[in-house]
Structure 1
Amino acid sequence: MTPSPAPPSPAAVAAFLRGLDKRARLFATVQAGDPGRGEHALAAVARVFAAEAGQWPLAQWPQQYWRLLLATPSLRQASMPDASALLPGVARLPPAQRAGVLLHLVAGLDDEAAAASLGLAVPAYQAMIRDSLPRNELGQPDVDVWRAWRAAAQRELERAPAPAPLARPVAESARGDRRLPKAKAEPLPSQDSRWLWLGVLACVLAFSAAFFIHPAGRETISKWFASIKREALPAAAAPKARFDAGDIALHPDRAQLAAPQEAWYAERLALLAWLANASDPAAADAVPLPIASASEQPRVRDAADEAAAIAQRVRQWEALSPRMRGVQRGHWQAWQALEAGERVQLRGIGQRVRQLSGEEQRLLRERFAAQTSDARAGWRLGPRLGRDWPRIAALFGYVDAAERERLLRFLRDAAPEDIDACARLAQSTPPEERAALRAELLAQPATQRGAWLQAQLQ
């Protein structure tokens, strides 16, 4: 049969309750909405805690004390605070949210201990704290209100009077309410004096342990050892600027909207990549393009004109459907994925295309559209990969998202003989084996992939 744990020292219980007095009194007053009901709840919990403290380790006393205090019926009733109530912003919350906020600001518990006192999981407790705060202009919990509540709670704790001596029933409950008969006062035998001193020493140790464990004690110790001087900051000045929804710097597509010339090239990337090969004199079907004039310079805009142009582009962008915005983002991402040299080449071709007449540009688009859909999609990979894409599309046309970036990097760095090997493997590998072939290709070191491809052809 397991022996019951020895009851704690009455002095340890008394020291613990005395250390919590300021925080518990403020907590009960705000939670109950009435000082009288708060005092009654504190007295009842003190008697129950003193009688049951021996059931828990000393480190669990704070959590168990707040759990008992929250279980008091008078602290679970909704109340309407008057204008002079302590912490009026917190006092207006519903009882459950009010208790969660007070456990953090007044009781000084961390999220895990506060959630355990309320019988909640930590994510549910954190969600309760967020829901208790008002929302700012952006729809987010107002952190300034939380800081104001914390400062108000600290002021009330600093103004609170020193705790009064504990009532006699608490000490009696800690002793199990054992009443001893009165006896005549007799001097203590000399051989028992050492037990008296041992009892005093035990009380001092128990008080010290409670002091070091309680948050208020830890805060006092940190103040003793702090070498940094602390003083109140001056009142915050008014903000120089506030959130502006029209600010291009805050727009998620700011890079694309701030560079309309680059966006024009990105939208016509496939056409320009096709023209980069078609305008090559070595190509069989050359497309004549005019030579760009070196005297043409872009018009320089002042700051006001540029701001107005950006605002106009933002309005046009927001007027597009979500699908069209997604298509434009895809063009922009494909343009940014090109090598710098390819972008320079395509910018030059784009400037020459813009000098063509409307009819000439229409004819170019019709000739480009006459290709197959796979060929048109391949030109979005740039001039070099677009030229080779029809030969390797069967092997690399449909890949997992996790492989896409690595395969594109391989194809951009691949030598011509590696591309030829991939084209031959695309024709000789059955469709059901292509995914395994790509995975094995990526598993090879980058410097050995060319040799591995040649080995697969043998």
Structure 2
Amino acid sequence: MTTTPSPSTAPPAVAAFLRGLDRRARLLAHVQAGDDQAARRALAAAARVFATDAGQWPLAEWPQQYWRLLLSTPAMKQPADGTATSLPGVARLAAPIRAAVLLHLVAALDDANAAAALGIEVDAYQRRIRDALPRTPLGQPDVDVWRAWRAAAQRALEALPDAAPEDAAPRRATPAARDTDADPAATHHRRRLGWLWLGVAACAVALAATFFLHPRGRELLDEWWAPHVKREALPPADAPKARFDLADPALHPDRALLATPRELQLARQLPLLAWLAADASDALPLETGTAASVADDADMAGRMQAWDRLPPRARAMQRGAWAEWQALTEAERASLRATAARFDALPAEQQHALRDRYARLPFDAHRGWHLGPQLGRDWPRILALFAQVDADEREPLLRLLRDATPEDIDALARLAQTTPPDARAALRRELLAQAPAQRTGWLQARLQR
């Protein structure tokens, strides 16, 4: 790691500012440059220019101006090589995206200041953050990866050593000091007095310690200072009505999905089953009946142990599949259970052929089948309007689409083709603001514009 230099001629406020962000600056420069020597040169250049120009900016702008100067150095624009020992996942990103992520995770800037430091709009900065993350099966940024990067950045900051202190300024010699230093007898006398007073202080401390440590001394202190409190023994405690048992299946946070392993298996196959039910039903045999999904409580403890041994990412993906399954209506889930039974009745080679047909579908179609057979069939038509939505809009929009009539879906498909990309967010907000009984009329009126 490198050290941010603090110019000796910098005013105290500037020097204090540079010391305050030293660790963050060293970590950001190390990860962004990928090379210690280049990071050290970049830090030195940024600190030198900042110390010279800081007086022209308000104090509130100092953070964004410093990071702007640091990221404008050539070393901060090098391609990713992934060699940084800290935050390797971030170090592999492209330089502009890497800088955006580091300004948030390491420099701790909000979106507005980070965007200003990079010289871009806030929307463009937020797009860089989204582009940095891998996507979930639903096409949304993987927040588990973001949490892992944030925790790794915090650990890296805490592990950094403090910057090496600057050399102390030489003491200015005064006439009195020169006279005293030049007199060996005065110096010897001063040292003897210092040792004498040190001995007296040590004796006083030893006497006080002897008094306080002796039992009689503590009793006297209690008599002098402690308030007179009546002491009375409490009655014996009642036996607890229940004790916390970490192995109790009822207390496991993922008990719902572990209690019904067959349902979890269906949830993990949701996109395939939705496609089979909607577009490939003719390739399945006639109704065969569905087997009841019954939890085996005797195996619950074993399933819990196997679940807890899974990597965090594997558990997160299965939780996501379970949430998608639970978002379906009960009628859709019952239909998919019947579809699964018909699919399981097929010979292995026919099952393999159907899986191959599903695998060859376009990526956007795969995303749609995660929403179930009803929305999955219509998803390619309305994809442009609903592919990228804010997190707080996702649930109400899904409810709206599940309740939509075929005429509403047709209207939304036409709007998806005619609405410019920069107007789609406003259209979704207006759509959500309509009462359910007025949405059909509103959609038809919108088409007439």
TM tier relative to shorter chain: 0.3 to 0.5
Normalising by structure 1, we get a TM-score of: 0.47
Higher relative CO (Cα under 8 Å, sequence separation at least 6) belongs to: 1
Structure of larger gyration radius: 1
Normalising by structure 2, we get a TM-score of: 0.48
